[in-house]
Chains A and B, each alone.
Chain A
Amino acid sequence: MSDVSAFWPAFGRGFRVMLPLWPGMVPFAVAYAVTARAGGLSVWETCLMSLTVFAGASQFAAAGQFVAGGLPGVAGALALVGTTFVLNARHMLYGLSLSRQLPLGGWRRLVGAQFLTDEAYGMVIVAGPRDPGGLGVAFLLGAELSLYLVWNAATLLGSLAGAVLPDPAVLGVGVIFPLAFLGLLVPLLDNRVSVLVAVTSGLGAWELGRVLPGGVVVLLAGVSGALLGAWLVTRRAGAQGRA
């Protein structure tokens, strides 16, 4: 970032790369806000959660719990915080993967960490290297803040205006997220090991998804699939080394 003039164009490209995901985010943020308000959170608490935690699945889990039982006591709150930790532990995997391609230091790392999501990680790791400026911090921040902006604006809208949009299921927008990740996955399937890893991880996740929450499934299936891939390629490399 020595060259400040190059920051904003790359930031803008990162920002715009997330636009196809916006229609998928808005109804979910509104639905979260409506649920949180119904669970007894004030407008500013509802918004505070989107501003700080910024993780859709665990926000929904928390809001749902408030609706079911009101604001929790100490034991309930600790259980909720534990759930949040488990649901969001997968983000470590994203940071680890991202930091190999894009080492971040100082404030960039502190800021980049706050806004990291499934979608931003996916888009940045795939589209970032193809950006004219390469995979850079400006592109990362643009992508991250694009989602942050729309998620928080829609949270505010939902918490003030209530159910301004029908249920996401009625709109069918739930299909946008799997489509986006499928689009990120397709170009990566350019060799047999990758295809095998994707099939194994996907089927494993489908199976685990029957009994475990989504955030945990992604962590477990993601780690297992990557272990399988690493084992397959290093075993082959080892065999060639011995030959």
Chain B
Amino acid sequence: MSGWLVILLMWAVTYPVRLLGLSLGRLDLPPFWLAFLKFVPVSVFAALVMPDVLGSPEWPRRLVAAGVGGALMWRTRNLGLGILGGFAAYWAARLLGV
């Protein structure tokens, strides 16, 4: 099959899923499902972070980065600073042979 056709089919299964979620905002939901949606960010962010740190082949360095970055963000509530500090810690650990 030609490349562009495969690409358009990939788009055809991605876009409607994104649209569907955004289209269900006005549903009247029972309290359980409202609570469910409130926990989605916590749950999703944790699921995005943990495998990327602990499941990485270079997990010791990434653990150092997450520790330093997380602590910085906890103290300062500044995302940019946390990323920068965490990245610096990652490189420090890498150069030190961790």
List A residues at the B interface (Cβ < 8 Å): 19-20, 40-42, 45, 48-49, 52-55, 58, 62, 66, 71-74, 76-77, 80-82, 84-85, 88-100, 102-104, 109-110, 112-114, 116, 118, 122, 125-127, 172, 174-189, 193-194, 197-199, 201-206, 208-210, 214, 217-218, 221-231, 233-234, 237
- A229 contact set on B, CB distance < 8 A: 35-36, 38-39, 42-43
Do residues A184 and B39 form an inter-chain contact, with CB atoms below 8 A?
A: no
Is A188 within 8 A of B42, CB to CB?
Answer: yes
Residues of B1-54 at the interface with A, using a CB-CB cut-off of 8 Å, are 1-15, 17-26, 31-54
Question: Are B94 and A172 in contact (CB-based, < 8 A)?
Answer: yes
Chain A nearest CB, measured from B41 CB (Å): 5
Residue in B2, B10, B56 whose beta carbon sits within 8 Å of that of A49 in the complex: B10
Asked whether, in the complex, the Cβ of A113 is within 8 Å of the Cβ of B43, the reply is no
Question: Given contacts A99-B22, A99-B24, are A84 and B10 in contact (CB under 8 A)?
Answer: yes
A178 to B58, CA, bound (A): 13
Q: Which of B7, B11, B23, B83 contacts A176 (CB 8 A)?
A: B83
Q: Which residue of B lies closest to A185 (CB)?
A: B45
| Partner pick for B47 among A72, A113, A210, A221, CB 8 A cutoff | A221
Q: A109-B19, A178-B52, A214-B51 are in contact. Are A205 and B14 (CB under 8 A)?
A: no
Contacts of B82 in A (CB 8 A): 179, 182-183, 186
When the two chains form their complex, are residues B18 and A91 in contact, meaning their CB atoms are under 8 A apart? yes
Name the A residues within 8 Å of B77 (CB-CB).
Answer: 187
What are 28 A-B contacts defined by CB distance under 8 Å?
A: A20-B84, A49-B10, A55-B14, A81-B10, A92-B20, A93-B44, A99-B25, A104-B25, A172-B91, A172-B94, A178-B66, A179-B66, A181-B48, A186-B73, A188-B42, A202-B50, A203-B50, A205-B48, A206-B50, A206-B54, A222-B44, A224-B43, A226-B42, A226-B44, A228-B39, A229-B43, A230-B35, A237-B31
Asked if B79 lies at the interface with its beta carbon under 8 angstroms from chain A, I say yes
Name the B residues within 8 Å of A194 (CB-CB).
39, 42
Tell me whether B80 is interfacial, beta carbon within 8 Å: yes
Instruction: Indicate if the CB atoms of A72 and B83 lie closer than 8 Å.
Output: no
Known A98-B22, A181-B49; judge A201-B43 contact (CB<8 A): yes
* Chain B, residue nearest A73 (CB): B1
State whether B7 touches A217 (Cβ < 8 A). Answer: no
Give the residues from 63 to 81 in chain B that come closer than 8 angstroms, CB to CB, to chain A: 65-66, 69-70, 73-74, 77, 79-80
